[in-house]
Amino acid sequence: MSDNEKEIVRKAGKKLLKLIVLIVIYIFLNAFINTFLPSILRETSIDFERIYMNYQSYINVIIALAVGYLIIKSFTSFVYWNLRIKYDHPTAQAVKNVFKMLGIGVLISTIAGSISGGTAGVALGGFIGMVIGFATQKILGQAIAGLFILITRPFKISDLISIGGDEGIVEDVSIMFTIIKKSDGTTVLIPNNTLIGGKIYIKRRAAETK
């Protein structure tokens, strides 16, 4: 194993440890806020418990949003560094971004559902999840298409290609766009979802460039 691979494995291990710590912190905070703190307040002479119970749901939401986002961020970073063992930065970053978008959507819909509680909560969570799904459908479709392109590599940076009537040198392949530079100096950003299922003409590979 090379020094670079050892460094990647070390970083992946650190991200996994951070993820575990955050999950433990969330479990502890949840238990403290919903179990131990009400019991402590119940023993006081002033009716702090009643006051606290009025704001308990808001405290739970704030903690779930804050720690939940940190958990999603740590998980996606762990996924990223694991993928870096076999894949380059653009591919690993693309997978990370897709997981982050999905994680945030699930987090928001879950919290919204838990606030309402019961059947209404399930319905509300499902509805918000559906709204988020429709709102991000195009973005996710474009991101997933970019992910497939990065993994399958039908073309590479510096290849001369023709896509949808645009011909030029590939300058970059990101999660959302494939960027080519035409012979007249024009830079074209092509949405990745338009490439899936379309014809791609590879006129010259980068290695063949004189």
Closest CA to 158 of 101, 111, 207, 115: 207
Residue with the larger pLDDT of the pair 133 and 51: 51
Residue 166 neighbours by CB under 8 Å, 6+ apart: 180, 182, 188, 190
pLDDT at 210 over 60: no
Mean pLDDT across the chain: 77
Structural domains in the chain? 3-135 (no CATH), 154-208 (2.30.30.60)
Q: Which helix (H) or strand (E) holds 113?
A: helix 89-116
| pLDDT at 120 (0 to 100) | 46
Identify whether the C-beta of residue 193 lies closer than 8 Å to the C-beta of residue 141.
yes
Count the alpha carbons within 13 Å of 15 in the hemisphere toward its beta carbon: 20
| pLDDT at 113 (0 to 100) | 62
Residue with the larger pLDDT of the pair 112 and 155: 155
114-116-119-122 Cα dihedral, nearest 10 degrees? -50
| pLDDT at 21 (0 to 100) | 92
| pLDDT at 132 (0 to 100) | 54
Amino acid symbol at 144: I
Rg (CA), the chain: 24
- Minimum mean pLDDT range among 33-42, 174-183, 185-194: 33-42
| pLDDT at 137 (0 to 100) | 58
Residue 24 neighbours by CB under 8 Å, 6+ apart: none
| pTM to 2 decimal places | 0.59
Closest CA to 178 of 164, 168, 191, 166: 191
- The model's confidence at residue 48, banded by pLDDT at 50, 70 and 90, is low
pLDDT tens per residue across span 129-178: 555 555 555 666 677 777 777 777 788 888 898 887 888 998 888 777 88
| Residue the block writes with tokens 């195009």 | 138
- Minimum mean pLDDT range among 51-60, 108-117, 148-157, 171-180: 108-117
Report, as an integer, the average pLDDT of 47-59. 69
pLDDT at 199 over 50: yes
What whole-number distance in Å separates Cα of residue 122 and Cα of residue 112? 9
| pLDDT at 89 (0 to 100) | 77
- The model's confidence at residue 1, banded by pLDDT at 50, 70 and 90, is low
